[in-house]
Chains A and B, each alone.
Chain A
Amino acid sequence: MRQRLRDPVTGLLFVLPVLVLFLIFRIFPSLGAAGMSLTNWNIGGDWDIIGADNYVRLLDDVNFWLSLRVTLVYSVVYVPLTMLVALGTALLLNQVVFMRGLFRGMLFLPYVTSFVLAGIIWRWIYEFNGLINGLLAKADLGPVAFLEESGVVLPALAVVAVWKGFGYSMLILLAGLKAIPSSYLEAASIDGASPWQRFRRITLPLLKPAIFFVMVIETISAFQTFDTVYVMTGGGPARATYTLIYGIYDHGFRSFDFGYAATWGMVLFAIVLIVSLVQRRFLDRGNT
């Protein structure tokens, strides 16, 4: 009896540090974001409630629609590219036994570094007298202004993010491949299925949950792109890389227009929520 009476208190005491941290630094700011988006909060800390004015301003803001487009185009390049590289390397690692551990480690290596480091290295790689243009010059080609041309810069940034991040998705997909019973593939092989048929009819359908999980994760991370933009382009040229998060940063910490920046944050929240809910729906359907 005493044991039971003591339990509620100790349980709460053990949760208390995390509870306090979450209330102050996660839940309060989450509600605060919604609240601030209804004010004209500025750097001085003065604010008035201005209702939906920020949202009206958002809908009229050319830069907002531009940033949505930039983020979307970036995702459309980034997600398929990273899926392709991750799936390709995962399939290779699953097939090749020779020095597998070494190759897996080499492919995974960029994942443990920062986007800032990736940005710094690749800024140099893309420069006029950088690595790629140096190689192009040897072949009497180029130079290509990767970071100064609005048509090239988004794919160029996507390549950096793919390089930095595909190792993670590769490992998830590799685990998915390893979970496919080899007897399925052997049976199909005996029945005369070609390698392509085996991949298309057995591997791919069984790998679907892993592919879907990775796709959602990568889509969300594409929508949160900031570090590489900050390091490599500063949102330019001519706002060609002005992503959603860059917009939040720009309005919050260059114009100190906190209320309006919070409104941009609400849009990001809505997008991530929608992607997560779509994921939930698909997963539920997959289970039934």
Chain B
Amino acid sequence: MTITTTSRPSVRAAAPRAARRRWWRGRWPLAALLALLSVLTVSPFVAMFIVALSPAGRPTVPVRWPESLTLDNITMVLSSSGFVTWTLNSLIYAVVSVVIILLTSSMAGYAFAKKRFPGREAMFWTFLATMMVPFQATLIPTFVLVNSLDGVDTFWGLIVPTLANSQAVFLMRQFILGLPDELFDAAKVDGASEWRVYWTIVLPLTKPILATLGVFVFLWHWNDFLWPLVVGQSDATRTLTVGLTTLRTEEMQLSLLMASAAVSVVPCLLVFFLLQRYLVNSIAMTGLK
């Protein structure tokens, strides 16, 4: 590699430039179209942020650009106790779910991939079969069950029913299946306990897939709506998505509503900007949705 680049720099530099020029001649309309579609796609977000940063009560996009930008709406939203509670609830809902799902699904995935025990196949296929049952179809019985256990409007009632995630178990099992048996056997010969093997070998080896899964579980829970809507009935356990739907423009300034929406999307944007490459590659690889 280095030899060719150093020995013939001029040729190598010139060739791509010519190729690039040739490429542009035929295809600049495609690039322009792609740019236009991309800008259109993000424009609702841009509009949301502009309104969120505009002084309250003044006409703004699309009629005119705001004369000045202000953080007043954002600080007002962040000082409303309801909004802060919803945000914390969403964080608890998402983070606790991520930790427990990663832990339980990697344990189960390890056992399904590398352990022999009676009923393993039957159990695994039953898990897979439950993927066919949409959550909304079992919404009513799940709610009645949680209600009969006094779980409505509690954190455990919100979180625990969402932890049975067959996609996570399936993904972990497929990944661990691809790891060589010798890795685990060697540790066992050295006298490590099963838990130690899991903790010091399985978990570190599955880090990339755990990270991918963690990002998805976080987004699923942060953006989740129907289950939090029926279970989180007061501000004590209401999540941000549900809280946002209680805000109406009839009762509040549009700029405040958009500021609330803008703040609620910040964690998603953080995940997106920090882990975009990761997310993008894993979707095609794993089919997680």
Interface residues of A (CB under 8 A from B): 3, 6-15, 17-19, 21-22, 24-30, 32-33, 35-36, 41, 45, 88-89, 92-93, 95-99, 102-110, 112-117, 119-122, 124-125, 127, 131, 134-135, 138, 163, 168, 171-172, 174-175, 213, 217, 220, 224, 226-227, 230-231, 245, 248-249, 252-253, 258, 261-262, 265-266, 268-269, 272-273, 276
Interface residues of B (CB under 8 A from A): 23-24, 27, 30-31, 33-35, 37-39, 41-42, 44-45, 47-48, 51, 61-63, 103-105, 107-108, 110-112, 115-118, 120, 123, 126-127, 130, 132-134, 136-145, 148, 160-161, 163-164, 166, 169, 188, 194, 198, 219, 222-226, 229-230, 241-242, 244-245, 249, 254, 257-258, 261, 264-265, 268-269, 271-272, 276, 279-280, 283-284, 287, 289
Given contacts A22-B164, A89-B37, A253-B230, contact A11 B111 (CB under 8 A): yes
**Cross-interface CB contact of B47 among A14, A108, A131, cutoff 8 Å:** A131
Question: CA separation between A45 and B145, bound complex, in Å?
Answer: 11
Question: CA separation between A165 and B272, bound complex, in Å?
Answer: 15
Question: CA separation between A7 and B140, bound complex, in Å?
Answer: 39
Expressed in whole angstroms, the minimum distance between the Cβ of B121 and any Cβ of chain A is 12
Q: Which chain A residue shows the least CB distance to B42?
A: A106
What residues of A have a CB within 8 angstroms of the CB of B51 in the complex? 124
Q: Which chain B residue shows the least CB distance to A136?
A: B62
Q: Which chain B residue shows the least CB distance to A195?
A: B26
**Cross-interface CB contact of B142 among A25, A113, A213, cutoff 8 Å:** A25
Subset of 22 A-B contacts with CB under 8 Å: A7-B115, A8-B117, A8-B118, A11-B111, A11-B117, A14-B107, A19-B108, A29-B138, A30-B137, A32-B145, A93-B34, A96-B30, A97-B23, A103-B38, A110-B45, A116-B223, A116-B242, A121-B45, A127-B249, A134-B63, A230-B229, A252-B230
What residues of B have a CB within 8 angstroms of the CB of A18 in the complex? 104-105, 107-108, 127, 164, 169
Given contacts A14-B110, A112-B272, A227-B226, contact A120 B257 (CB under 8 A): yes
Which among A22, A36, A112, A120 has the greatest number of chain B C-beta atoms within 10 A? A112
What residues of B have a CB within 8 angstroms of the CB of A41 in the complex? 144
9 shortest A-B CB distances, which residue pairs? A11-B115, A175-B284, A11-B117, A32-B141, A114-B223, A14-B111, A106-B38, A18-B108, A29-B138
What residues of A have a CB within 8 angstroms of the CB of B30 in the complex? 92, 95-96
Cβ contact within 8 Å between A125 and B283? no
What residues of B have a CB within 8 angstroms of the CB of A230 in the complex? 225, 229, 245
What residues of B have a CB within 8 angstroms of the CB of A30 in the complex? 130, 133, 137-138, 141
Cβ contact within 8 Å between A121 and B44? yes
Additional 4 contacts, C-beta under 8 A, given A33-B141, A171-B280: A6-B194, A15-B107, A33-B138, A258-B140
Number of A-B residue pairs with CB-CB distance less than 8 Å in the complex they form: 262
Expressed in whole angstroms, the minimum distance between the Cβ of B219 and any Cβ of chain A is 6
A interface majority secondary structure: helix
Cβ contact within 8 Å between A98 and B134? no
What residues of A have a CB within 8 angstroms of the CB of B117 in the complex? 7-9, 11-12, 15
Cβ contact within 8 Å between B116 and A27? no
What residues of B have a CB within 8 angstroms of the CB of A120 in the complex? 244-245, 257, 261
Cβ contact within 8 Å between B160 and A21? yes
Q: Which chain A residue shows the least CB distance to B284?
A: A175
Cβ contact within 8 Å between A248 and B136? yes
Q: Which chain A residue shows the least CB distance to B163?
A: A21
Cβ contact within 8 Å between A265 and B139? yes
**Cross-interface CB contact of B144 among A32, A115, A121, A171, cutoff 8 Å:** A32
Question: CA separation between A122 and B225, bound complex, in Å?
Answer: 17
Cβ contact within 8 Å between B280 and A104? yes
**Cross-interface CB contact of A112 among B47, B133, B225, B271, cutoff 8 Å:** B271
Question: CA separation between A269 and B276, bound complex, in Å?
Answer: 34
Question: CA separation between A269 and B140, bound complex, in Å?
Answer: 13
Cβ contact within 8 Å between A92 and B137? no
Expressed in whole angstroms, the minimum distance between the Cβ of A41 and any Cβ of chain B is 7
**Cross-interface CB contact of B62 among A102, A134, A217, cutoff 8 Å:** A134
Expressed in whole angstroms, the minimum distance between the Cβ of A68 and any Cβ of chain B is 15
Cβ contact within 8 Å between A26 and B283? no
What residues of A have a CB within 8 angstroms of the CB of B284 in the complex? 171-172, 174-175
Cβ contact within 8 Å between B134 and A269? yes
Question: CA separation between A174 and B108, bound complex, in Å?
Answer: 32
Cβ contact within 8 Å between A168 and B108? no
Cβ contact within 8 Å between B142 and A103? no
Q: Which chain A residue shows the least CB distance to B34?
A: A92
Q: Which chain B residue shows the least CB distance to A251?
A: B140
Cβ contact within 8 Å between B289 and A217? yes
What residues of A have a CB within 8 angstroms of the CB of B222 in the complex? 114
Which among B116, B140, B161 has the greatest number of chain A C-beta atoms within 10 A? B140
What residues of B have a CB within 8 angstroms of the CB of A3 in the complex? 188
